[in-house]
Amino acid sequence: MGTITRGIANNVVTGGKLDGTDGLSGTVSASNIANASLTNITSVSPSLGFAVTSVASDPVSPTEGQVWYNTTSKTLKGYQFATVNAWASGGNLTTARESLAGAGTQTAALGFGGGTPTPTKGILTEEYDGTSWSGGGNLPTAKVSLGGCGTQTSGLAFGGSPITSTTEEYDGSTWTAGGNLGTARYLLRGAGTQTSALGFGGYITGYVANTEEYNGSTWTTGGTMGTARGAMASAGTQTAALAFGGLIPPNTNITEEYDGTSWTSGGPLNTTRRQLGGSGTQTLAIAFGGFPPSTGATELYDGTSWTNNPTGLNTGRGYLGSAQSAPQSAALGFGGYLGGDSNATEEWTGSTLQVKTVTVS
């Protein structure tokens, strides 16, 4: 801000006025001038520009509270935190099935395997673009209750039933063989990417606590889970994963967090269940659906505890797939079982920063 020059009065003249014209002067240090003390400003110099920026297109990465005028659409817009927290119907799977795996995000998802009681469904792969599903490359062999993670163009499938240790990698059109799991199993879950994945839990002749880490070519042993179980949901990455719910038996609400070396206990789910969906990160996760009984219950995790959302899936069901890499604010659930195989797809919109148009009514 600079400095302010002050005139110091040293006598009183006619009418009781203070006279500061006798040469006594000084300056007030800028450090002693607070912006909060500036009041009664009636105008701002044009050289400072406008408070609202005019742009031809919306900013790519605005900040919360930012306001701008779009000269192309002739609209005033702002970036604000909006809470929706609701599910809406998306495009149905082409082939209804349960016990499938998923990868990707809400607008670029991958659903693969699954499909009891018809084993041939287990080779199917479908890709979602945010509106509809289309056929992708088939898995080499049919798999049900398999693990999955990654993205739509870089997916990973591993384990499954009939009990297997095989791993396949997807490039957006075809699946090719990857390194085998150290322990063959099904009802396991995964997290991470195609080249940095985590596979954990599952069933062999009983439920297991095995954890394995994938580097894009081989699996190596990781830290053992605190509780052996399968049919859980998962979120996160290889070094910051989350496992929740599942079957020990009985069904459980246990949550565990992985730091790349070991598992520790997290906050328990409010609804005990297995064969549920989930995605997000270790500190911002979402859990939805599950069985038994079939439920649409949706919960949000903040890294410490789960909070119930007032509304759940429109179609409560278990054995569903989820877009594994989707954030807590934009999840995707698809397929599942509710008296028969389901083709339903649902899109979640949570609390998120959104561009809003300012309107006058």
Which range (19-33, 325-339, 345-359) has the least confidence? 19-33
Domain shared by 220 and 306, yes or no:
yes
Rounded mean pLDDT of 65-89? Answer: 84
> Phi and psi (nearest 5°) for 36?
-65, -20
Domain shared by 76 and 97, yes or no:
no
Rounded mean pLDDT of 40-56? Answer: 65
- What residues make up the domain containing 65? 48-82
Q: Please write the tens of the pLDDT for every residue from 135-179.
A: 999 999 999 999 999 999 999 999 999 999 999 999 999 999 999
Looking up residue 258, the CATH number of its domain turns out to be 2.120.10.80
Domain shared by 64 and 211, yes or no:
no
- Residue 9 scores a pLDDT above 60: no
Q: Please write the tens of the pLDDT for every residue from 287-312.
A: 999 999 999 999 999 999 999 999 99
Count of the separate structural domains present in the chain: 3
Single pTM value for the model: 0.78
Domain shared by 116 and 228, yes or no:
yes
Q: Is the peptide bond before 62 cis (omega within 30 degrees of 0)?
A: no
pLDDT score for 99? 97
Domain shared by 110 and 223, yes or no:
yes
Give the model's confidence band at 38: pLDDT under 50 very low, under 70 low, under 90 confident, else very high: very low
Give the model's confidence band at 355: pLDDT under 50 very low, under 70 low, under 90 confident, else very high: confident
Domain shared by 201 and 303, yes or no:
yes
Rounded mean pLDDT of 342-358? Answer: 84
List the strands of the sheet with 75-82, edge to edge: 53-55, 67-70, 75-82, 352-358
Single out the residue of 275, 348, 264, 267 nearest to residue 313, CA to CA.
Answer: 348
- Residue 30 scores a pLDDT above 50: yes
